[in-house]
Amino acid sequence: MDLWTILLQIFVVGIFIYYYFNRKFSYWNERGVKGPSPSIPFGNVLSFFRDGQVKIEKDWLQKYGKLYGNYQMTAPILTVIEPELIKQVLVKDFHIFVNRDKLLFDHEIFNHNLFNSEDEQWRRIRSITSPTFTSGKLRGMQMLMDRCVDKLANYFDRIIDSPKNGCLNAKEVVTGFTIDVIASTSFATETNANGDLSSDNIFVEHGTELMDFKAWRILAFFALPIKVNRWLDNSLGFSDWRFNFFVNLSRTIIHQRKNGKNKRNDLIQLLMDSFVYENQLKGNNYESLTASADHDMKEAENVPVENTNPSSNNTSDKRTLTENEIIAQCIIFFIAGFETTATTISNVFYYLAINPDIQDRLCEELQILNEMDVNSREYFDKVNSELPYLDAIIKETLRLNPPLTRLQRRVGIHGYKLGGIPLDKDIEINIPTYALHHCEDFYPEPDRFNPERFMPENKHLLIPYTYLPFGGGPRNCVGMRFAYQEIKLCLAKIVRSYQFDKTSETKIPLEYSKIALLTCKNIPLKVSRR
């Protein structure tokens, strides 16, 4: 074959590739939707890796407005930052947007979790798992969580009395605390992560490594075929064999519980005992599946589950979770819970350290707890629902730094219009949470830490569907109340006893990861006793 023939073939292939991608990248132009120009063959994905997802989405908001189109590889994405359209997607037309983006992981168990499951499977799993997170059930985990807070306090005492004189990496230490909580409440495993970080604690080792997201893994997961990712130990976007450690651990615990051994009031047991009646899964009523952060919401938690549907006396119509589904929920709660909660608590410590007046005011509010028994219902109720400044600080921290920086939903029918734009079935809708939370139209001085925004007297100033750290609608985070409880129990005890200050190494502002979760690996602070 001569040189001219080779060049001709290359030219023909190039023309074909050009027209193929040109057609793929014409979706938004054909609908008159503005947005950033895609590059062959990655669309707009490389911008995220180059500039960081949160920065680029803030820039696109400024440049293209609250509704624009972009591309993930060749897949068209409609990005929505308009509150009324967000409400339409998450709530009003939820039956059309039941599913998230299609991520088909190469694992028989992982696709069964609440985050990835779809349609009727999702509805059944959500219906069964939702009662697990009522106040009554969560109150049963109060002592487990409090023991973990005590371990964190003991570590602070040791580091204060050590040559380090209280200087620490708050993110690393708090990660140890959240591993202790999730190990105790979800896997019936007692750890002391801050005492074991330098030793061979297998749960701590697998947990920290599992959540150490690598850019190459994420890019490879989206760009390479399943077989190649399987060969790379990357069929999940993180280490397969570390994930399988938690699969095997969960399965062992379930089998022990079935044999009547080692029962305790933890997540695995609650999931094993939960069920829903078949007729409760019928119809299009999704409202009851929306998780609420309100502690005083009406619940039937003191009524036996069997009596919540008196019209059904036949136990054969009960729907329960399969063993693999229970395992999948435990692991997704671990993945979704420990890193995001660690990020939030360490961020609170950081904001308290650089805003000492706010820290003093919070400490003053918490003094009301001094004479209470930390394991009492009175203490539980006070911490979870009667400390407005604590609540405001947590919410403002989550506004500034939502660990999950975007929400995704998928159009379920052909010919649907959103904001007047006709969309095909399976088009993904993206709600960039970070950009939404930092939009000046909704939050004046959006980069300033100002808990006053969320105080009760300012509630009327908040615009609905502009605050979504846990998502919104029936597919919001089912573990939201678990997370709030863990964060509040930790802060209520720690801030009363310890003071946080910045050091010469504390960066203002913090530098966050450009990909995956909005995390910062290093938050240098100094802790001292009050």
Cα–Cα dist 122/116, whole Å: 8
Name the CA radius of gyration of the chain, rounded.
24
- The size of the chain, in residues, is 530
CB contact at 8 A, 372 and 379: yes
Task: Tell me the torsion sign for CA atoms 95, 97, 100, 103.
Answer: positive
Tokens found for residue 178: 């959240």
Q: What does DSSP assign to residue 275?
A: -
Contact 384, 503 (CB under 8 A): no
DSSP class of 515:
S
520 assigned binding-site residue: no
CB 142 within 8 A of CB 266: no
Alpha carbon 466 to its chain centroid, in Å, reads 17
The pair of structure tokens assigned to 256 is: 């022990």
- The contacts of residue 206 (CB under 8 Å, 6+ apart) are 242, 245, 246
Instruction: Judge residue 504's burial from the number of C-beta atoms within 10 Å of its C-beta, 0-12 exposed, 13-18 middle, 19 or more buried.
Output: exposed
Cβ neighbours of residue 445 closer than 8 Å, sequence gap 6 or more: none
The b-or-e profile of 57-82 (16+ CB within 10 A means b, else e) is bbebbeebebbbbbbbebbbbbbbbb
What is the token pair recorded at 165?
A: 């004189």
Per the DSSP assignment, residues forming a β-bridge with 69 are 78
What is the distance between the alpha carbons of residues 171 and 513, in angstroms, rounded to a whole number? 13
Query: Which phi and psi (to 5°) does residue 529 adopt?
Result: -75, 145
Count of C-beta atoms within a 10 Å radius of residue 172: 17
Residues of each annotated binding site for heme: 477
Residues of each annotated binding site: 477
